[in-house]
Chain A
Amino acid sequence: MSSTGERSTATVYEQVQASPEFNELRSRLRRFIFPMSAAFLVWYLAYVLLASYAPGFMAIKVFGNINVGLIIGLLQFVTTFVITTVYVRFANKHIDPAAEKLRERIEGAE
């Protein structure tokens, strides 16, 4: 990005940015990452607020010495693993092929 020869390629990037394929790819990506980020942040903040303001609720024992707090805490691990796996599948299937096509188009034009 520092070499002088790239000024001429700026138009390639602008062309691609305006293309329907790129717009389709970008909105598909954003429709996944933004809601998913909002969802896990809300879920995490709900957990933090429960632990901070409702320790009594978190201390309720469900079975043996396993209480609500431990279960919700472990569920945070589960959701993190699940979101990771779902995102990788999504990106491999819906993002990578389209991104690669556009990349070849740009690098071929350079």
Chain B
Amino acid sequence: MIPVVVAQAPTPPAATAVGSVGLNIAIFLVFVAVTLFFVYRASRTNKTASDYYAAGRAFTGPQNGVAIAGDYLSAASFLGIAGAIALNGYDGFLYSIGFLVAWLVALLLVAEFLRNTGKFTMGDVLAFRMRQRPVRAAAATSTLVVSFFYLLAQMAGAGGLIALLLQIPTSNQLGQGVVIAVVGILMIVYVLVGGMKGTTYVQIIKAVLLIIGAAVMTAWVLGAFGFDLSALLGSAAENSPRGEAVLAPGLQYTNPIDFVSLGLALVLGTAGLPHILMRFYTVPSAKEARRSVVWAIWLIGLFYLFTLVLGYGAAALLPEGTITSATQNSAAPLLAYQLGGELLLGIISAVAFATILAVVAGLTITASASFAHDVYANVIKHGQATPDSEVRVARTTALVIGVVAIAGGIIANGQNIAFLVALAFAVAASANLPTILYSLFWKKFNTTGALFSIYGGLGICIALIIFSPAVSGKPISPATGRSASMIQGVDFHWFPLDNPGLVSIPASFLLGIIGTYIGGRRPAEEGKFAEMEVRAITGAGSEKATAH
């Protein structure tokens, strides 16, 4: 280890007993106060369905791009990736590359066409030329499933952060549960009062804080090594219990096929995540949707470069043995403490906490919009619901989802964040992306094909997850005395891979084709394709921004 890199030498952080609780809470409350102010201001123009779901389509591309980065740079990518790099080195970096490259699918194949052909939800695009009710029901089902997995992943990360921020140890289930409930209620307030506009402001503020915080820490770490990346890597390898192996792939993913499967799910999942897709409706045109993605790609790419430095920085600068599989999600906050003491720890933990809050708010608004717009207005009311009643249903749904998020968060507390997010990506890539691509580009695609690819992709994906070693049957680790699987003590797995993507994604593409041929020719649906294609490319007839 480099002898003197930090001026003050704090006591070795014991994961739960560093920093000042008062300061942490104060910084977090400032964030809450500022965001609540914006949410309240946004509420004054929160009248129509278009306001509530799509912020009146009035955000600019750059604003929306920052908000997308805020939505996407979840607790899993910040805490999870930095921690994975600190613990397993190179294999953590592999995650971030999949998460970034995935944006090219959204940029080239999805964002603009989706903006031009839909109104509020993914179901709008899929149902454009299909039979409305079955396809919207299917789209809403997969939206709710993906959002639920993603939501659990975010809430699962809350426990470790609470331990760090408020010094309530993870063993204190009641104390942690109360904090998770408070966070959940705050999130519900954001969504109900601010709608999409308020939620977007929360994302923007959070993204700016997160990226600035990570940039400062990155510069600090690099500065400690004379801006020599090679020296940083050397020190990380020297200080890590696993030595040189942290610089090369192979520590975390011992089964190569498993990593290929994960890699496929990551790169194809992003453009099927409902809460990301919905963000493209908050801008006035396809051109602004394109600008949003460009901004998002630059910000997300830069951020992942920062996490590479932060992860190796934590491995190099924290006392040897600090980062274990139990504390890996705290690598970034612990590094902040090591570098800048209580103040930087307070800022970074508050930002990480805000991240959970903001991402869960985004997921909640998406899931509630999908239920109200696709299921209530179109499936139950046959498209005859008044916009007012639709928004009322959306708000009620948001309340229900908020309660589910709180309960789920308390149950999922302590599960591996990155793993849960990877499952959400697998479901999105299996159920949503094939259906979206076929709808946009394949004339013959029909209702039967859409139902096959959504329900088939979803069903296969979930079944393979249930019977995977991720859920049951991994050997008991001698270090922790626990199996790395989700359920202890039983073994009902028969599928060999942790991530189902390698099987479920091609299966869903294939099912879309099979269903389409079973469904036969539907001239009415094919006729509608002319309109969809022309609108997708030219933007004619697309939803306009509402003026305030």
Contacts and interface: CB of A to CB of B under 8 A. Distances in A.
Task: Decide whether A and B assemble into one complex.
Answer: yes
Interface of A: 1-2, 6, 9-10, 13-14, 16-17, 22, 25-26, 29, 33, 36-37, 40-41, 44-45, 47-49, 51-53, 55-56, 58-59, 63-67, 69-70, 73, 76-77, 80-81, 83-84, 87-88, 91, 96, 99-100, 102-103, 106-107, 110
B467 interface: no
A25 to B, nearest CB: 6
B388 interface: no
B403 interface: no
B234 A76 contact: no
Nearest to A99: B538
Contact of A22 (B103, B304, B534): B534
A29 B537 contact: yes
B101 A67 contact: no
Interface string B231-272: 101100100000010011110010011011001100100000
Q: How big is chain B's contact interface, by range?
A: 35 or more
Contacts of A99: 537-539
Interface string B80-104: 0000000000100110011011011
Interface in B53-101: 90, 93-94, 97-98, 100-101
Given A55-B248, A73-B97, A16 B230 contact: no
A69 B248 contact: yes
Contacts of A6: 541
B109 interface: yes
B15 to A, nearest CB: 28
A80 B533 contact: no
Tell me if B's interface is mostly helix, strand, loop or mixed: helix
B535 interface: yes
Contact of B249 (A16, A45, A55, A88): A55
B504 to A, nearest CB: 17
B260 A49 contact: yes
A44 B259 contact: no
Main secondary structure of the interface of A (DSSP, over half): helix
B248 A13 contact: no
Contacts of A59: 244, 247-249
Contacts of B212: none
Nearest to A47: B97
Contacts of A73: 90, 93-94, 97
Nearest to A92: B287
A82 to B, nearest CB: 11
Contact of A52 (B128, B253, B290): B253
Nearest to B244: A59
A48 B248 contact: no
B94 A80 contact: no
B533 A26 contact: yes
A81 B298 contact: yes
A25 B540 CA distance: 14
22 contacts: A13-B530, A14-B531, A17-B533, A22-B537, A37-B108, A41-B267, A48-B94, A52-B259, A59-B248, A59-B249, A64-B233, A65-B230, A65-B247, A66-B230, A73-B90, A73-B93, A80-B301, A84-B294, A91-B290, A99-B537, A100-B539, A106-B538
Contact of B260 (A33, A48, A69): A48
A2 B527 CA distance: 16
Given A65-B237, A87-B108, A44 B263 contact: yes
Contacts of B383: 2
B248 A80 contact: no
Nearest to B535: A13
A26 B532 CA distance: 13
Contacts of A13: 530-531, 534-535, 540
A107 B297 CA distance: 32
Contacts of B534: 13, 16-17, 22, 102, 106
A85 B140 CA distance: 34
B94 A51 contact: yes
B103 A80 contact: yes
Contact of A76 (B97, B105, B249, B250): B97
B107 interface: yes
A16 B287 contact: no
B100 A77 contact: yes
B539 A48 contact: no
Contacts of B100: 76-77, 80
Contacts of B109: 33, 37
A69 B247 CA distance: 8
B96 to A, nearest CB: 9
A52 B540 contact: no
A16 B539 CA distance: 13
A80 to B, nearest CB: 6
Given A65-B234, A69-B248, 16 more contacts: A13-B530, A26-B537, A29-B537, A48-B94, A48-B264, A52-B253, A59-B247, A65-B230, A65-B247, A70-B233, A76-B100, A83-B108, A84-B103, A87-B107, A102-B537, A103-B538
B104 A40 contact: yes
B541 A106 contact: yes
Given A44-B263, A91-B290, A36 B538 contact: no
A64 B107 contact: no
B229 interface: yes
A29 to B, nearest CB: 6
Nearest to B543: A1
A64 B249 CA distance: 18
A81 B533 CA distance: 28
A69 B249 contact: yes
B115 to A, nearest CB: 13
A36 B104 CA distance: 9
A40 B530 CA distance: 29
Closest 7 CB pairs of A and B: A64-B230, A59-B248, A52-B256, A48-B263, A65-B233, A106-B540, A13-B531
